[in-house]
Structure 1
Amino acid sequence: MKSFENLNIDPWLLRQCTKIGVLNPTPVQENCIPKILSGQDCIGAAKTGSGKTLAFALPILQTLANDPFGIFALILTPVRELAFQICDQFNVLGKPLNLRCAVIVGGMDMVLQGQELSKRPHIVVATPGRLADHLESCNTFSLGKIKYLVLDEADRLLSGQFEEQMATIFRVLPKNRQNLFFSATITDSLKAFKEIAKTDVFLYETPEEVATVDELDQFYVLCPKDIRDGYFVETIRSYRTKDPDGSIMIFVDSCKKCQVLSMMLNDVGFENVSLHAMISQSQRLAALARFKSNTVKILIATDVAARGLDIPSVQLVINHTIPKIPKEYVHRVGRTARAGRKGVAITLMSQYDVELLHKVEDFINTKLKEYKVNDAEVGKIFTQIAVSKGEAHITLDEKDFFEKKMINKRKKWILGGLDPDEEERKYFKKDLKRRRKDNKKNKDDVVSVDKE
């Protein structure tokens, strides 16, 4: 294996790497760093947890040290928490340079961010939406002289979800820049970029056929759809008997479900914190800090926590439902079994999810094993779980938890040329019908369990 010294990394950066315990380059670093230092555009695809951030941070900092000016590099990422994490890594490595790094994300004060941008920081790490807002609302800073553009989690940034914001940003960027795109998976968008790029693009893709690491043990729990949460809690209880102190990350598919399940778990004795888009940025950062510091051992989150976040001590990842897109499964389970450590991933599935499971297995080229859960124990706890979940729904309704969500929906309806009042009536009518159906199911399930 090559050392960082063999990659022509400057001595001062080698010392910084040693201080943080990074002694030898990973394959993505070994392959990409020399190409980036030589001035080539680069697309790097490697498993999550393989060290992609250092693959672009080290050459950027080395080049910056030779010719410091601001704003030198722009790094775009789809997730706010990932932006803070990237900035932290730049600050640690760039300390000898007195590096100035700005994080520009939603949920924070725009005026303070504008003042920070006007001071011309060396590195700007941003989410596309908030950066586009700044570009459209003020002219106190310029991105016209950046040397590097980095897209971290590039597959998601180029998937179309951020199309308008990315177009706004690209309009103000210089043509003469180095493009560095990194992701855990190669997509058609990244392949298309390589084909249309005017310059020679270096493409690195991890050679392994398996998309998840060997240190990860992957299981599924087969459970009836209507009593999924009973199996969910029993899965946690069962795992806790084997590992009482291990950190657990739980992924769900909506903000509402995230908050409800978090409240339910706290009520039945599993202390946890939640991370999703319906809470403030300060609450999100605080929850993540408590989990990273092992103050709280369980984090329940939407896919905002699925990508790139470096939490090395996670022992178990639970998928409350199977992701509809197999690559999202890869990102989720990549939160454990990092840097050579062992990890476990357990996915809950009903009889209706078999096809989704097969798609995931085909994508990762690995067969999931069944994780046995005691059905009798599920029956004993299900009534308590159903009641706790119902109370959580009532509490959220009383707190107007979804007011922010409705404001955002009304904005989208207006932009789409629809009548927001009419659309809101339709939405609540549909939601009421669905909730009545869910309540009837819960009552029927409680009765059937009590009879047994």
Structure 2
Amino acid sequence: MTSSNKISKRKSIIEGDTSKDTFSDLELDEWVVRACSYLGIHHPTPVQSNCIPAILRGRDCIGCAETGSGKTAAFALPILQTLAVDPYGIFALVLTPTRELAIQIADQFKAFGAHISIRVTVVVGGMDMIEQGIMLANKPHVVVGTPGRLADHLKSTDFSLKKVRYLVLDEADRLLAPSFQPDLETIFSSLPARRQTLIFSATLTDTLKQLSAITNDNCFSWTEPRQTATVSTLDQKYIFIPAKVRDVYLTHLVDLFHTIENKTVLVFTSTCKSCQVLTELLRKLDCPCVCMHSIMNQSERIASLAKFKSSLIKVLVSTDVGSRGLDIPRVGVVINYNVPASPKDYVHRVGRTARAGLYGRAVTLVSQFDVKRLLAIEKLISTKMEKFELQESVVLKKLQTVSIARREVEVRLKENEFGEKQRINKAKRKLLEDALREQDELESEIKRKK
């Protein structure tokens, strides 16, 4: 390829025209290109075209692109190519905010790296810590984990990250939440100063921009050019309802989309209890569904997600643990049972549908208390949502049936002490944190007096 052709090619990549690109144009080795081809991936997306060459040249990278744009491959492919030259463990550490996303990323590393016999270990909560410790002792090439469990291993074992070549923060804006900060500090203090840091997210926040502090001066930054925060193939509507009849509208919508239109439906709600209540409510009304929230153990969450992905069950009720990065094929409709407090959380939720150019629909239930939140969302997505038309008289025919079923579900959950274990563990953690803080203060006071 001549110099002018290379310049033209790079210009088309930067402008987002990748229709004629191949992975061979991105300085990837032939075996990596073949691995992509075997998986049915022949043309790189803009985030891959822009970020892969920079990463291969040893630069730190901050990449921001919409959900479903191929961000995992953008960091996995150059890591695997470099790993193949000098394979040793632990070569790369990938941090994610949720267990399900960690498992998904690990699966993609295994798929892309099948030809070099890559060893990948997932380190997340809800799974046996001793078994994870044994796997880490065998020094896998790639460790994918959530901050909390990884920090636990660093504190309680001789597990070391001193030879890590790559640090990846995926869904980085979520990782920067205050709840993750103590664990991230533990992890960062265990990492070598000389490493490549790769940061990816679907939404660019002011906090995310500050991450340049943990990257080097030669950091490559790329943000996907787009007019709105959501894709054009997504039909976004709302239903204005009284807060007290939210349940009956939800059950009507699920029945409409799932039973009548035969679509896969993903329902988002804000709390674990609400998630469990809605799941059991729908089941009681003869709608097969599964749920996913943080109180469930990991095997239950994996099973629920597998049933939904395979379309064995076509309705999934989830908290925001299901809103980040998960690649769930062909979700037809996203229903927001509540309006999320953060407009960016809305973007991530509805990003589970209308992926890879497919059509999708999002319907949000809005009460009289949610108007400001709706306006904030419309401002972020630069779109004025339209009303989703329903005949109120038809919907409210089932009000009594749904209300009775809801009360029965809540009584049963109370009898089973739903969430009690979580509340006890939270109280224990607070007591332990308070004790450690008091001990640190006492030691500091003793040192000061000496």
Matched-pair contact (CA < 8 Å) for 1:74–1:149: yes
1:59 is matched with: 78
In 2: Cα distance, 1:71 partner to 1:249 partner: 37
**Distance (Å, rounded) in 2 between the aligned partners of 1:76 and 1:276:** 20
The answer to whether the 8 A contact 2:235-2:361 is kept is: yes
1:140-219 counterparts in 2 under 5 A?
141-194=159-212, 197-219=215-237
CA contact (8 A) 2:238 2:386 kept: yes
Amino acid at match of 2:161: L
Query: Of 327, 344, 350, which aligns to 2:344?
Result: 327
Residue 243 (str. 1) matches residue 224 (str. 2): no
Separation of aligned partners in 2, 1:196 and 1:37: 19
Deviations 1:324-343 (A, max 9, x none): 00000011000001111111
Give TM-score scaled by structure 1 length: 0.90
2:270 is matched with 253
Map of 2:113 onto structure 1: 94
Deviations 1:244-278 (A, max 9, x none): 2x111100000000000000001112110000011
Q: CA deviation at 1:32?
A: 0.5
What stretches of structure 1 of length at least 5 have no aligned partner?
A: 419-452
Distance in structure 2 (CA, Å) of the matches to 1:40 and 1:263: 49
Note the C-alpha offset of 1:409.
Answer: 2.9
For residues 146 and 362 of structure 1, what CA distance do their matches in structure 2 show? 41
Q: CA deviation at 1:415?
A: 4.2
Q: Deviations over 1:89-135 (max 9, x none)?
A: 00011011111000000000000000000000000001000000000
- The correspondence for 2:410, drawn from 388, 393, 396, is 393
Q: Decide whether the 8 Å contact of 1:258 with 1:302 is kept in 2.
A: yes
Distance 2:97 2:189 in 1: 19
SS for the counterpart of 1:352 is: coil
Task: Please name the residue that 1:123 is paired with.
Answer: 142
CA contact (8 A) 2:258 2:314 kept: no
How far apart are the structure 1 equivalents of 2:294 and 2:259? 32
Q: Which residues in structure 2 correspond to 1:335-414 (within 5 Å)?
A: 335-414=352-431
Deviations 1:308-332, CA, capped at 9 Å, x for gaps: 0100210100000110000000110
Distance 1:198 1:260 in 2: 47
Distance, in Å, in 2 between the alignment partners of 1:37 and 1:229 is: 51
Q: Deviations over 1:405-445 (max 9, x none)?
A: 22123124424649xxxxxxxxxxxxxxxxxxxxxxxxxxx
Contact 1:235 1:373 in 2 (8 A): no
RMSD: 1.3
Letter in structure 2 aligned against 1:50: S
Counterpart for residue 89 of structure 2: 70
Which of 5, 12, 15 lines up with 2:34 in the alignment? 15
Look up the equivalent residue of 1:232 and give its one-letter code.
L
**Structure 2: how far apart are the matches of 1:331 and 1:381?**
31
Deviation at 1:367, TM superposition (A): 1.4
1:26-56 CA distances to partner (integer Å, 9 max, x unpaired)? Answer: 1111110011111111001111111100000
Question: Size of the alignment, in residue pairs?
Answer: 416
110-119 vs 4-13, which moves further: 4-13
Amino acid in structure 2 at the alignment position of 1:118: A
Shift in alpha-carbon separation, 1:233–1:357, aligned structure 2, 3 A: same
Contact 1:234 1:373 (C-alpha < 8 Å) held by counterparts: no
Q: How far is 1:64 from its partner? A: 0.5
Tell me, yes or no, if structure 1 residue 85 matches structure 2 residue 104: yes
Instruction: Work out the CA distance in 1 between the residues paired with 2:207 and 2:59.
Output: 19
- Structure 2: how far apart are the matches of 1:289 and 1:73? 27
Q: 1: distance between equivalents of 2:261 and 2:35? A: 35
TM-score after normalising by structure 2: 0.90
Q: Distance in 1 between matches of 2:214 and 2:79?
A: 24
- Equivalent residue letter for 1:102: T
Q: Which residue type is aligned with residue 329 of structure 1?
A: Y
Structure 2: gaps spanning 5 or more residues? 1-17, 436-450
Task: Decide whether the 8 Å contact of 1:317 with 1:336 is kept in 2.
Answer: yes
Distance 1:240 1:297, change over 3 A: closer
The whole-number CA distance in structure 2 between the counterparts of 1:114 and 1:16 is: 30
Secondary structure of 1:161 counterpart: helix
Alignment partner for residue 298 of structure 2, among 281, 287, 311?
Answer: 281
Report the Cα offset of residue 196 of structure 1.
Answer: 6.6
Tell me the CA shift for residue 242 of structure 1: 5.4
Report what 1:432 is aligned to. none
Q: Distance in 1 between matches of 2:215 and 2:248?
A: 51
Identity rate of aligned residues, in percent?
Answer: 50
Where do 4+ consecutive residues of structure 1 move more than 3 Å? 195-198, 415-418
Rounded to whole Å, the distance in 1 between the matches of 2:383 and 2:67 is 17
